[in-house]
Structure 1
Amino acid sequence: MTELRIRTKSKREMIDLTPRVAEIVARAGQAEGLCSVYTPHATAAIVVNENDDPNVCVDVLDCLDRLIPAGVWRHDRVDANAAAHIQSAILGPGETIPVRDGKLLLGTWQAVMLVELDGPRERRVVVTVR
Structure 2
Amino acid sequence: MLKKISVKTNRRDEMIDITSEVKKVIRDENIKQGTVLVYSAHTTAGITINENADPDVKHDMLMRLNEVYPWEHEKYQHAEGNSASHLKTSTVGASQTIIVEEGSLILGTWQGIYFCEFDGPRNRTVYIKTMEG
TM-score of the two chains, using structure 2 as the length reference: 0.94
Letter matched to residue 57 of structure 1: K
Report the secondary structure of 1:6's partner residue. strand
Letter matched to residue 71 of structure 2: A
Of 65, 77, 86, the match for 1:74: 77
Return the offset for 1:97.
0.3
The number of residue pairs the alignment matches comes to: 128
Letter matched to residue 126 of structure 2: V
Q: Which runs of 5+ in 1 are unaligned?
A: none
Aligned to 1:48: 49
C-alpha distance in 2 between matches for 1:121 and 1:66: 23
Q: Which moved more, 1:108-117 or 1:61-70?
A: 61-70
Return the offset for 1:109.
0.3
Letter matched to residue 69 of structure 1: P
Report the secondary structure of 1:85's partner residue. helix
- Which structure has the highest helix share of the two? 1
Return the offset for 1:74.
1.4
Runs of 4+ in 1 over 2 A off after TM superposition: none
RMSD: 0.7
Letter matched to residue 87 of structure 1: K
C-alpha distance in 2 between matches for 1:57 and 1:74: 29
Report the secondary structure of 1:74's partner residue. coil
Q: What are the superposed Cα offsets for residues 61-84 of structure 1, whole Å, 9 maximum, x if unpaired?
A: 011111111211111xx1111000
Letter matched to residue 88 of structure 1: T
TM-score of the two chains, using structure 1 as the length reference: 0.96
